[in-house]
Structure 1
Amino acid sequence: MKGFGKYWGWIVFAVLIAGWLTFDFGPAALIVLSGVSAFYFFFNVPVWCGAEGRTSSCRNNSYGALMGCHLRQHKWQKLKMLFWSARWARLRQELFQNATTTLASVGGLLAITSGIAATLQPLFGGGW
């Protein structure tokens, strides 16, 4: 994608935040917006790879805070770290290594939290 098309998820995230602030959307819309926003931040936002290399972290472009760059070794390195508790410290370091990846990681975590809250709110008699 060229130009502004790479950043479509930020618009979805802004609509999600506006939906929470105004209570204009129902829980289903908030859940869908949260899922789309989390997908964008974890698998589609343009960031640096940051995978562990021989001398330092990789500086190639990648898509998503949990995905690697075009190199085969880096492609699933971060995603696999989710499943090994011994690697969680390294994953945390890679997800919060610079401003871009930190913003993407925080946005993804907020989107997941929003989805959980939108799911639980009707169950506990809130809002809608």
Structure 2
Amino acid sequence: MSRKKTGFAMKNWGYLVLAAAVLLLFVREIGPQFAVAAFALSGFWLLFGVGTWCGAKVRAADGLCRNNSFGLLGGCHIRQHRWQRLKALLTFQKFRETCRGWFTGAPQQIATCSLVASAVGTLFGLVQIMLAVALA
């Protein structure tokens, strides 16, 4: 039996949602609330769903785990690596090391820049909603 191949759109749907959110942000007829929802959905996918390297510290000479993981915050299939990534986010010094690993390779760089764009788009959309409510 062969494995079912997943298409490009199914593996990278968060990037497509992010692109649609950018377009929705400038469409006046629809309103910014749909853009904010799309930005938030894309950001959630980038944090927990996009395929990247694990990046947890290991005992080997290179120092970082190269297994596949899901999301910028997730670890690989090794339970200790998932706990290590979660604990690293809660302490400031290890948080810097964790965020430094977000720029180690091309997939991480693309996901991190997309996450920043998603956060900025969400804030921009929320400001638009607040201005619309204040002026109404």
* CA pair 118-76 structure 1, distance change in 2 beyond 3 A: farther
1:40 pairs with one of 40, 45, 52: 45
TM-score (norm 2): 0.82
Q: Is the 8 A contact 2:25 2:31 kept in 1?
A: no
Cα displacement (A) at 1:3: 3.0
* CA pair 80-108 structure 1, distance change in 2 beyond 3 A: farther
Q: Is the 8 A contact 1:42 1:105 kept in 2?
A: no
Q: Which runs of 5+ in 2 are unaligned?
A: none
Cα displacement (A) at 1:79: 3.4
Cα displacement (A) at 1:45: 0.5
Cα displacement (A) at 1:69: 0.4
Give the alignment's Cα RMSD to 1 decimal. 2.3
Partner of 1:67: 74
Rounded Cα–Cα distance in structure 1 between residues aligned with 2:83 and 2:43:
18
Partner of 1:2: 6
Q: Which runs of 5+ in 1 are unaligned?
A: none
Partner of 2:129: 122
1:31 matched to 2:29? no
Q: Which has the larger radius of gyration?
A: 2
Rounded Cα–Cα distance in structure 1 between residues aligned with 2:102 and 2:70:
13
More off after superposition, 73-82 vs 45-54: 73-82
Q: Is the 8 A contact 1:67 1:76 kept in 2?
A: no
Cα displacement string for residues 68-116 of structure 1 (whole angstroms, at most 9, x for unaligned residues): 1000011243333222112122012111111111111111122122112
The one-letter code of the counterpart of 2:20 is V
